[in-house]
Chain A
């Protein structure tokens, strides 16, 4: 299975929307997070098992991600739902001893078995390959493989990790030895403020793409918490994107695991996905594009103007899914990169036209955030691989 997996969320209606997205064909499955869904039903929340059953009945895949890489972040304390899953045993919370690691992996696998989810090994956020977490991540991965040889594996790292060059390559080399059938890859942010992708650290994202390229030579790769910008990873060999409608679904937002966080307004406006700009713009910008040229607006958007946020949610996932399907159907790496490059260049041209025609409703900053930076990263990765 490939396409779009919907990340979990705590908003009322989330579970219904996610299952609806699967039923409509806009999504291929759901991630269940212990931070967002309780193990047992409590007021306002269905149980993880019911969520998994509903997703399965709609024809979707369910992946329970234990989110250990979020739980062990400094300041991670939004554990009201998390604790219902009892993911830690007598040795306590932490992965600094073999016993803790083993108990945690066993508990996570047990919960996944309950839900009918594949065994996805927990991991920790790596900042430095030579640091403790670099070692713990490998140790836990091997424990998981020892328990279930076909277990899916995770790698989660900060930008520092993804930009660590030769050390990163060596670490990925060690991970590949696990021969996991599926990798779930996450770029963990230290801080998230805006609604647009933050890909300013070009070197880190080039390292991410290089690593996905390596992992995808033997395995499926799911790029988690990536949303529209995850298409870069698909260009490098991933086949599935973790996406959603809220900021904490579209990017790894550490504030969403912290009850005292004040990360500012999380939904500052209504938005409309512009499929062929690879962008999500404010609804007032979308309306300005519509007024400028109805037929071009529809071409750029990919379908008719969503008349509600519910329709926009489905439109958003479907837009990403269609891009993933197009790219994934191209097996040759150079041809896949060329196709994505062509699409980004076309989007850049559309952005230029819109900036000239209706600026400042559409701005150069929008083009930079959604297309130009991505194109630079794609060029850097593909040039080094001899694919440009």
Chain B
């Protein structure tokens, strides 16, 4: 399909040229977003290209892509994927936007959640992603879509947070909204329409990841209609990890259970608070 004056292939080639990357090979494509592995100055990198739809939706996609790159550029943490270029607009007017990110070995968590994890593995996830969230939250940035597809497990066993495409600055946006990001199963009560995801919402989603990793179940069942799922998120207290994993470490149970408190005020409020607790039980790495 031809977009405006260029074909997708021309758009991609123009993106690679504008970014100065070589040897691109496709990694993934979803919707209007392409992900390539390529080389930049001899180093492996990831190239992301987002085609912009025409009209207002295109402006929104453009702003979101710029925001993703700007936020990634502002966050400096070994536990958050690094952005290596500015966001480059392709075409005049812009028909696509493209940028370069650090290439990470390993796989996202979707590939690792087929079997249950050990206490140590879950503590490692909490610690590494806790560091990532601390770096984001210190800048008043909320990820808002913490889910298996957005956390990569490296061959070393450490975890890195990716794709803050829905991230936002806490106090630079409307208080509430109809559209809410988030991945079913990993959403917090504040992700329900009308809510306002905060740093504590990221903590909830991380708690879900840890809970699922440890016992292979969701604390709040996401199946059925979205309305029913939302109702459960709002009204149902998450069961203790102890019930689903009777042999889990007591400190881990306490931490996960607190992450999954229905009321945000009862959770760790941000990555720093979570790390403090992990440190108190000597589980920060």
A214 on the interface (CB 8 Å rule)? yes
Contact with A along B184-201 (1 / 0, CB 8 A): 000001100011101110
Nearest A residue to B200, CB-CB: A173
B112 on the interface (CB 8 Å rule)? no
> What residues of B have a CB within 8 angstroms of the CB of A179 in the complex?
269
Nearest A residue to B194, CB-CB: A130
**Cβ A177 vs Cβ B269 within 8 A:** yes
**Cβ A217 vs Cβ B265 within 8 A:** yes
A1 on the interface (CB 8 Å rule)? no
> What residues of B have a CB within 8 angstroms of the CB of A175 in the complex?
265
**Cβ A173 vs Cβ B190 within 8 A:** yes
Bound-state CA distance A169–B190 (Å) is: 10
Contact with B along A259-284 (1 / 0, CB 8 A): 00000000000000000000000000
A135 on the interface (CB 8 Å rule)? yes
Min CB gap B203→A, angstroms: 11
Contact with A along B248-274 (1 / 0, CB 8 A): 000000000000001111100100000
Within 8 Å by CB of B198, from A130, A174, A211, lies A174
Nearest B residue to A172, CB-CB: B265
**Cβ A177 vs Cβ B262 within 8 A:** no
Chain A residues with a Cβ closer than 8 Å to the other chain, count:
20
**Cβ B175 vs Cβ A169 within 8 A:** no
> What residues of B have a CB within 8 angstroms of the CB of A172 in the complex?
263-265
| 8 Å CB interface, A94-143 against B | 130, 134-135, 138, 142
A170 on the interface (CB 8 Å rule)? yes
**Cβ A166 vs Cβ B189 within 8 A:** yes
A361 on the interface (CB 8 Å rule)? no
B176 on the interface (CB 8 Å rule)? yes
Bound-state CA distance A177–B190 (Å) is: 14
A380 on the interface (CB 8 Å rule)? no
Min CB gap A381→B, angstroms: 13
**Cβ A214 vs Cβ B263 within 8 A:** yes
Min CB gap B227→A, angstroms: 15
B225 on the interface (CB 8 Å rule)? no
**Cβ A214 vs Cβ B189 within 8 A:** no
Min CB gap B140→A, angstroms: 10
Known: A174-B196, A177-B199. A169 touches B262 (CB 8 A): yes
A377 on the interface (CB 8 Å rule)? no
**Cβ B263 vs Cβ A138 within 8 A:** no
> What residues of B have a CB within 8 angstroms of the CB of A138 in the complex?
175
Contact with A along B152-173 (1 / 0, CB 8 A): 0000000000000000000100
Bound-state CA distance A175–B175 (Å) is: 13
Bound-state CA distance A210–B190 (Å) is: 18
Min CB gap A349→B, angstroms: 34
Within 8 Å by CB of A214, from B171, B195, B234, B266, lies B266
Contact with B along A205-225 (1 / 0, CB 8 A): 000001100110100000000
Bound-state CA distance A173–B200 (Å) is: 8
Bound-state CA distance A62–B134 (Å) is: 37
**Cβ A176 vs Cβ B189 within 8 A:** no
Min CB gap A207→B, angstroms: 11
B235 on the interface (CB 8 Å rule)? yes
> What residues of B have a CB within 8 angstroms of the CB of A169 in the complex?
189, 262-265
Min CB gap A144→B, angstroms: 14
> What residues of B have a CB within 8 angstroms of the CB of A142 in the complex?
171
> What residues of A have a CB within 8 angstroms of the CB of B199 in the complex?
177
**Cβ A214 vs Cβ B235 within 8 A:** no
**Cβ B189 vs Cβ A170 within 8 A:** yes
> What residues of A have a CB within 8 angstroms of the CB of B175 in the complex?
134-135, 138
**Cβ A215 vs Cβ B189 within 8 A:** no
Known: A173-B263, A215-B265. A166 touches B200 (CB 8 A): no
**Cβ B198 vs Cβ A177 within 8 A:** yes
Bound-state CA distance A217–B265 (Å) is: 9
Contact with A along B212-233 (1 / 0, CB 8 A): 0000000000000000000000
Within 8 Å by CB of B265, from A130, A135, A176, lies A176
Bound-state CA distance A116–B59 (Å) is: 52
> What residues of B have a CB within 8 angstroms of the CB of A217 in the complex?
265-266
Contact with B along A274-314 (1 / 0, CB 8 A): 00000000000000000000000000000000000000000
**Cβ B176 vs Cβ A130 within 8 A:** yes
Q: Select the residue from B176, B235, B265 with max chain A CB neighbours within 10 A.
A: B265
Contact with B along A157-178 (1 / 0, CB 8 A): 0000000001001101111110
**Cβ A166 vs Cβ B234 within 8 A:** yes
> What residues of A have a CB within 8 angstroms of the CB of B190 in the complex?
170, 173
Nearest A residue to B267, CB-CB: A173
Nearest B residue to A213, CB-CB: B266
Q: Select the residue from B190, B195, B199, B263 with max chain A CB neighbours within 10 A.
A: B263
> What residues of B have a CB within 8 angstroms of the CB of A177 in the complex?
198-200, 269
> What residues of A have a CB within 8 angstroms of the CB of B266 in the complex?
214, 217
Nearest B residue to A173, CB-CB: B264
Q: Select the residue from A169, A173, A215, A217 with max chain B CB neighbours within 10 A.
A: A173
Residues of B participating in the A interface, judged by any CB pair closer than 8 Å = 171, 175-176, 189-190, 194-196, 198-200, 234-235, 262-266, 269
A-B contact pairs, 25 of them (CB 8 A): A134-B175, A142-B171, A169-B262, A169-B264, A170-B190, A172-B263, A172-B264, A172-B265, A173-B190, A173-B198, A173-B200, A173-B263, A173-B264, A174-B196, A174-B198, A176-B264, A176-B265, A176-B269, A177-B200, A177-B269, A179-B269, A211-B265, A214-B263, A214-B266, A215-B265
Other contacts beyond A177-B269, A215-B265: 7, CB < 8 A? A169-B189, A169-B265, A172-B264, A173-B200, A173-B265, A174-B198, A214-B266
**Which 10 pairs, one residue from A and one from B, show the smallest C-beta to C-beta distance?**
A173-B264, A214-B265, A176-B265, A169-B263, A173-B265, A166-B234, A172-B265, A135-B175, A214-B266, A214-B263
